[in-house]
Amino acid sequence: DSAKAESLEAIGEAIAENGKVIVTGCMGVEEGLIREVHPAVLAVTGPQQYEQVVRAVHEAAPPSREHDPYVDLVPPQGIKLTPRHYAYLKISEGCNHRCSFCIIPSMRGDLVSRPIGDVMGEAERLVNAGVKELLVISQDTSAYGVDVKFRSGFWNGRPIKTRFTQLAEALTDLGAWVRLHYVYPYPHVDEVIPLMAEGRLLPYLDIPFQHASPRILRAMKRPAFEDRTLTRIHQWREACPDLTLRSTFIVGFPGETEEDFQYLLDWMSEAQLDRVGCFQYSPVEGARANELPDHVPDEVKQERWERFMEHQQAISTARLAQKVGREIDVLIDEIDEDGPIGRSSADAPEIDGNVFISTERNLQPGDKIRARVTDSDEYDLYAEDLNA
């Protein structure tokens, strides 16, 4: 319910922003609810209904004469919904995991990897169109290619295996920032750490841990190797000291005891993650977790969420304070009345922190600058432009 409410709020914000909104994806199955709350939406489609989405786009904004929608669904430059300087690059659909709290496999099916030539072709077109940062996404990014047995594909006449590590390396050749999201910590993830240490790949991993208690992870139907994961985190940071680790967690999962929750807090203290999101467990229609016993009362969920956020805030504050005095690269996202606002390699758009820049230059969104960090707080950095 909380996820639906958040989605409905986002739809309302989008309508207020430009008045023309098409809703697609998992939330699209709730068409009646969406139209009841937001009757102004132009169209509602479900997951993977690409033709319906593009048809709705063409109806709302007819294509130019240079592009025939009956020959190509999407114009050569693609349809981009993000600012000009960054773009999301989806590499697969569906998921082979069967987490008890999730219904994505029932809606999107098992993992289906996009051909690596198609992915690289899209990435190259985006970079040629001015994109400075590619955010690689899927339901399970590090499983890319497992469904096709990692078969070889071709890009610009060059053979490349349909595999997470080979894709990551190929993307670094395009010259843009490459940020990896939703990376399950399979053993082969270790292979991308050297690319990060060499400065070719952004030193950033978004890993959905969800919890740390072995008992709760088993109830979630998640891999339960929290002790081994800590060892690997330490090894990754030894190999790449600038590595930023982001994750999301669920508190108040059915059956979670105070002991389980304290185990999670202790694990967080040891892991020292840089960026963290946390959600209170909320039943999702159709999820197997709904049938689990010992649901946690709402007031206990709220109390644990507050304790978790306070705990992680202290970790974040301390880790950001260590960056004061350092020089960093910053990609400018926007300009407000107080000056430029950007992000470092440690910050994904919309979900992580910002870098507030002091400068005399007339910077623009998409500019990349070198800056020195002068201050920090719980989630953000403050820096001075070194070329001001």
Each residue of 93-124: pLDDT tens digit? 999 988 999 888 888 889 999 999 999 999 99
User: Which among 91, 98, 56 is positioned nearest to 73, based on CA atoms?
Assistant: 56
52, two tokens: 């319906």
> What is the predicted pLDDT for the residue at 66?
53
Please, is 238 exposed, middle or buried when counting C-beta atoms within 10 Å of its C-beta (0-12, 13-18, 19+)?
exposed
Q: Tell me, yes or no, whether 340 and 359 share the same domain.
A: yes
Q: Tell me, yes or no, whether 137 and 34 share the same domain.
A: no
Q: Sign (positive/negative) of CA torsion 336, 176, 89, 354?
A: negative
Q: Residues 54, 20: contact at Cβ < 8 Å?
A: no
Structural domain boundaries enclosing 45: 1-78
115 alpha-carbon distance from chain centroid: 21
- Report the distance separating Cα 84 and Cα 82, nearest Å: 6
Question: Half-sphere exposure of 38 toward its Cβ, with a 13 Å CA cutoff?
Answer: 24
> What is the predicted pLDDT for the residue at 59?
75
Q: Tell me, yes or no, whether 98 and 245 share the same domain.
A: yes
Buried b (16+ CB within 10 A) or exposed e, 187-204: eebeebbebbbeeebbbb
Q: Tell me, yes or no, whether 316 and 340 share the same domain.
A: no
CATH at 283:
3.80.30.20
- Report the distance separating Cα 38 and Cα 15, nearest Å: 9
Q: Tell me, yes or no, whether 18 and 122 share the same domain.
A: no
Give the CA radius of gyration of the chain.
Answer: 22
Q: Tell me, yes or no, whether 61 and 138 share the same domain.
A: no
For residues 133, 90, 220 and 98, what is the CA-based torsion angle, rounded to 10 degrees? Answer: -170
Domain limit, last residue, from 275, 303, 321: 321
Q: Tell me, yes or no, whether 138 and 269 share the same domain.
A: yes
> What is the predicted pLDDT for the residue at 75?
53
Integer angstrom CA distances of residue 319 from 79, 206, 242, 385: 38, 17, 11, 22
CATH at 350:
2.40.50.140
Within 10 Å of residue 346's Cβ, how many Cβ atoms? 23
200, two tokens: 């070719």
> What is the predicted pLDDT for the residue at 80?
55
- Report the distance separating Cα 320 and Cα 303, nearest Å: 26
Q: Tell me, yes or no, whether 72 and 147 share the same domain.
A: no
pTM (two decimals)? 0.84
> What is the predicted pLDDT for the residue at 236?
97
Q: Tell me, yes or no, whether 32 and 114 share the same domain.
A: no
> What is the predicted pLDDT for the residue at 73?
46
Q: Tell me, yes or no, whether 215 and 247 share the same domain.
A: yes
Domain limit, last residue, from 321, 348, 377: 321
- pLDDT tens by residue, the chain, 388 residues: 677 888 888 898 888 887 788 888 777 778 888 898 998 888 888 776 666 777 777 777 666 555 554 444 455 555 555 678 999 999 999 999 889 998 888 888 899 999 999 999 999 999 999 999 999 999 999 999 999 999 999 999 999 999 999 999 999 999 999 999 999 999 999 999 999 999 999 999 999 999 999 999 999 998 766 668 999 999 999 999 999 999 999 999 999 999 999 999 999 999 999 999 999 999 888 889 999 999 999 999 999 999 999 999 999 999 999 999 999 999 999 999 899 999 999 999 999 999 999 999 999 999 999 999 999 999 999 999 998 7
Q: Residues 99, 142: contact at Cβ < 8 Å?
A: no
- Report the distance separating Cα 106 and Cα 253, nearest Å: 21
User: For every residue of the chain, which 3-state class applies, written as one string?
Assistant: CHHHHHHHHHHHHHHHHHCCCEECCHHHHHHHHHHHHCCCCCEECCCCCHHHHHHHHHHHCCCCCCCCCCCCCCCCCCCCCCCCCEEEEECEECCCCCCCCCCHHHHHCCCEECCHHHHHHHHHHHHHCCCCEEEEECCCHHHCCHHHCCCEEEECCEEEECCHHHHHHHHHCCCCEEEECCCCCCHHHHHHHHHHHCCCCCCEEECCCECCCHHHHHHHCCCCCHHHHHHHHHHHHHHCCCCEEEEEEEECCCCCCHHHHHHHHHHHHHHCCCEEEEEECCCCCCCHHHHCCCCCCHHHHHHHHHHHHHHHHHHHHHHHHCCCCCEEEEEEEEEECCEEEEECCCCCCCCCCCEEEECCCCCCCCCEEEEEEEEECCCCEEEEECCC
> What is the predicted pLDDT for the residue at 65?
54
Domain limit, last residue, from 12, 43, 78: 78
Domain count, the chain: 3
Q: Tell me, yes or no, whether 26 and 72 share the same domain.
A: yes
Q: Tell me, yes or no, whether 46 and 84 share the same domain.
A: no
